[in-house]
Structure 1
Amino acid sequence: MEVNFRPSEKVLWPLSILSGIVMCKMVYEITGVISKELFKGYNNLSKSVKTEWNNRGFSTFHAILVAAVSFYLLVLSDLFKEGASNVLIVDRKSILSDCLLGVSLGYFLADLGMILWCFPSLGGFEYVFHHGLSMYAMFLSLISGKAQFYILMVLFSEITTPFVNLRWYLDVYDQKGSKLYLYNGVTLFLGWLVARIILFIFFFTHMYLHFDQVRTIFPLGFYSVLSAPSLLAAMNAYWFWRISKGMVKTLSRKRHTQ
């Protein structure tokens, strides 16, 4: 892989990664301040639970941000539209897409740092593997400018994260029997089905139909774009199975209590 970094990229990429890290720190602190005012039981939580509470605050913020920008780049803008450019889809990129990958890299670095520091309270080895794999794929795409279309599709799947976090918040507040917990569980199931199962089916279908373009990616990038999403898809399928089991259990418990 031969990469010639432009002067602007030498500034833009580190700055966007640093911005992602700073964003996480700011939202982490803001989440703690707001939670003290809005949630009476927050001050009574243990230190480790408060840490996870605030951590999920910035993971929710990151998920909404990257999902919104990814949707804009993939659907609303002309960047990746068929016929909009003579440039191959696997070679298309923009300043905004570069910034988004950099900010997201900063988030994953900050979150992985917290996971390792507090290990295993914020997540086990599967989270370390997920974050490591995600950072590898984004970094490779950022510095090479290749396959950003596919990376953005994977980033859009983060749209399910707010529902995962809300489920945790409700669990902490002992609200498993509430209607909100039930509705959120159903929304999480449907959202995961669309964003992490059906979208990945579209992902691999699109890659198959554009395989002549995918093959033009340098060897490491080519094998990475085939393997990394496949591993993430397998993890998504496993978590979907667990979500499905949880939803069935919740609906069964709700039906028996009526």
Structure 2
Amino acid sequence: MECAVMMSSERTNMLIKSYQSQAELLLKNYVSADYFVVCTSVIIGIFACKTVYDLSQLISAVYFKIYLSLTKSRQIEWSNRAMSTFHAVYITTVSLYFVLWSDLFADNLHRGPLILQSSTLSTCALGVSVGYFLSDLGMIIWRYPSLGGMEYVIHHLLSLIGVTYAMLTGQAQIYTYMVLISEATTPWINLRWYLDAAGKKRSRAYIINGVVIFLAWLVARILLFIYLFYHVYIYYDQVKQVHRIGVLLVLIVPSVLSVMNLFWFYKIFKGLKKTLAKRE
């Protein structure tokens, strides 16, 4: 009996050492980013979030009378949404630039596989986003569940893991930026919350906002993800060249986010349909 326990313990230790060896190999052979650049960009992201959060509290207290009438919990959410809106505008702009206008991810045989393309600028931009996801995830856990339930925790964890991997290794950044374009829907979601908090739920602006959310979600979180999976299929020979962890992230993270996006899209459709029915 004792012999069996010892053998089981030895197997467990060997398995742990195997995973440690793989992690060390990944860090040694695949991590390409300058650590100074990475750390600085992440700190900038955290500092920017903190600054936006504090400015939101100061400005809202002066220019928005409704802010002072909110409970402490909703005031925190008000400023938290200002922070997420700032990040969404930033990362959507950056992502559109790299995916649509920059030649960083151009399919150029002389530059090697596009799945491995990265630059100091693209890595810094992801570092700022990592700083945001760390800040927002910390707030969600701190105020759980008032700022979002378990689905928000899962969403932020998946996003944080995927963005951090692309930032540290320089691999699969094209797909990371494609996924981050979906943040284009966030400002409209936050605007809807602000309209609700201001008592504008029956206003024309609230209805227009619902239509915009529906269309933006359809484009940025449904159709875009379909194109992403098509792109992975077309360039799968290149995808296989990254580390196994990277392949898993490319396949799993967008898949899980797609399921969540479809679920939320269904709720958005039902909410819009209900709002329009009441309006009629």
Give the match for residue 112 of structure 1.
137
Distance 1:173 1:215, change over 3 A: same
The 5 Å alignment of 1:76-225 reads 76-83=101-108, 85-225=110-250
Q: 2:265 aligns with which of 233, 240, 244?
A: 240
Distance 1:185 1:58 in 2: 21
8 Å Cα contact 1:78-1:84 kept in structure 2: no
1:58: how far off? 0.7
Q: 2:41 aligns with which of 16, 31, 53?
A: 16
Task: Render the CA deviation track for 1:29-82: whole Å, top value 9, x for unaligned.
Answer: 111111122211211111100000000001000000000011111111111122
Amino acid paired to 1:221:
G
8 Å Cα contact 1:3-1:144 kept in structure 2: no
Query: TM-score, with normalisation over the residues of structure 1?
Result: 0.95
Query: TM-score, with normalisation over the residues of structure 2?
Result: 0.88
Distance 1:84 1:78, change over 3 A: farther
1:47 to 2:88 alignment: no
Amino acid paired to 2:222:
I
1:118: how far off? 0.6
Amino acid paired to 1:229:
P
Task: Render the CA deviation track for 1:89-123: whole Å, top value 9, x for unaligned.
Answer: 10001112101111111000000111111111000
Distance 1:99 1:86 in 2: 21
Identity over the aligned pairs, expressed in percent?
47
Amino acid paired to 1:153:
M
Q: How many residues align?
A: 254
Distance 1:85 1:30 in 2: 47
Task: Render the CA deviation track for 1:149-208: whole Å, top value 9, x for unaligned.
Answer: 000011111010000000111111121110110001100000000000000000000110
1:5: how far off? 5.3
Task: Render the CA deviation track for 1:108-147: whole Å, top value 9, x for unaligned.
Answer: 0000111111111000111111111111111111111110
Q: 2:54 aligns with which of 26, 29, 37?
A: 29
Distance 1:240 1:77 in 2: 30
Which consecutive residues of structure 1, in runs of 5 or more, have no partner in the other structure? none
Distance 2:109 2:61 in 1: 50
| 3-state secondary structure, aligned to 1:246 | helix
| 3-state secondary structure, aligned to 1:139 | helix
Off by >4 Å, runs of 4+ in structure 1:
none
Distance 2:143 2:154 in 1: 16
Distance 2:140 2:190 in 1: 16
Distance 1:108 1:201 in 2: 24
8 Å Cα contact 2:98-2:105 kept in structure 1: yes
Distance 2:110 2:63 in 1: 49
